[in-house]
Amino acid sequence: MGAEGTILHADLDAFYASVEQRDDPALRGRPVIVGGGVVLAASYEAKACGVRTAMGGHLARRLCPQAVVVPPRMSAYSAASKAVFEVFRDTTPVVEGLSIDEAFLDVGGLRRLRGSPLDIAARLRHDVRTRVGLPITVGVARTKFLAKVASGVAKPDGLLSVPPDGEMAFLHPLPVERLWGVGPVTSGKLRARGIVTVGHVARIGEAALISMVGQGAGRHLYALAVGRDPRPVQVGRRRGSMGAQHALGRGPRTPEDLDAVLSGLVDRVTRRMRAASRVGRTVVLRLRFADFTRATRSHTLPRATSHTPLILSTARGLLVSSLPAISARGVTLVGVAVSNLDDGRAVQLELPFDGWSGAELDGALDAVRDRFGSRSVTRATLLGHPDPMSVPILPD
């Protein structure tokens, strides 16, 4: 952490909805919802009515009946993301992408070339607006955590710099939920003890926090609350997991329906893994129930793999174990991820060598789909099911 705030957190505002408003002038200034069955994005005009991402479409339309609902255009969002990241890289070579619509930038050492970090942030916002046509919010601070909090406070379409001598004055009045790692469970534990602001977290001390939320979380939250975050902006850092998810809406689903969705997700994830030469050990199943609560199930394999049948078999086992909860509570989203990723070119072979590992079939199917499209070869269970939406993602 330097003596000057040189880390920028740049975050596009309501990304999908902003692209729609950019491309259709008739939508500007109006509440816009992207996605029908489930809200994929909402403009700030729609958010003012209470519409939120991942909300069911029926509820969103009740909250904001005047909203314009548009279908998603993933190719347009992907193109806009690439254009924005070109602006980022023209600003500084030190860019760490977090998702398709946000990134950290380190502008340390650029003062003589481009001015102060605040000047660079202002120029970045101007360049994104003029070159890509989208609003973007930027936070400037000494640490990644403070820069991200600053951009969140400055939204929408804002710029906020946190000076080093004003960090605690900025951070401590904020609600405790602003701390990374404070979700509903941790927030409930802290608020039940009267800890409602970041300042309360800092004053209560590390030992007391550890007794409340555990050693790892307690140390992490205390460090953030007192402004300690030594993580640098990393260029070229490979992702630690690969996943995909599919929103189902609120209708009833049979186990066969869920298995078909699961199969399609696993096909997509394992194909991405092989394209990036990655293998992984831990298979994760994510569920969102009809009451908006979530659950995660995982299983770690003996060795890393990208073999589709093995990962699918593991995911199916996790799904079967979750069927009682799904039957009782309903399900609106299914997701699959593979974590504990490693380089697929450095897999340790095991004796005795197997004459056929299944990788040959995976490779042949990948080649056919690359040439003729993802639906050119499909599973029988997926016949008649719509092709799941392919959400834009950052390169591995």
Burial 71-82 (b: 16+ CB within 10 A, else e): ebeeeebeebbe
3-class secondary structure for 17-51? HHHHHHHCHHHCCCCEEECCCECCEECHHHHCCCC
Structure tokens that stand for 232 in this block: 């640098």
The CA distances from residue 354 to 52, 80, 308, 359, 363, in Å, are 51, 46, 17, 11, 17
Active site includes 102?
yes
From the candidates 102, 167, 177, 256, which is the catalytic residue?
102
- At 203, the amino acid letter reads R
Nearest to 38 by CA among 16, 12, 13, 22: 16
Do 51 and 42 meet the contact criterion of CB atoms below 8 Å apart? yes
Q: Given strand 95-99, what is the order of strands in its sheet?
A: 95-99, 102-106, 7-12, 136-141, 159-161
Angle at 315 (CA atoms; ends 314, 321), nearest 5 degrees: 95
Structure tokens that stand for 159 in this block: 């710029």
Residues taking part in catalysis: 102
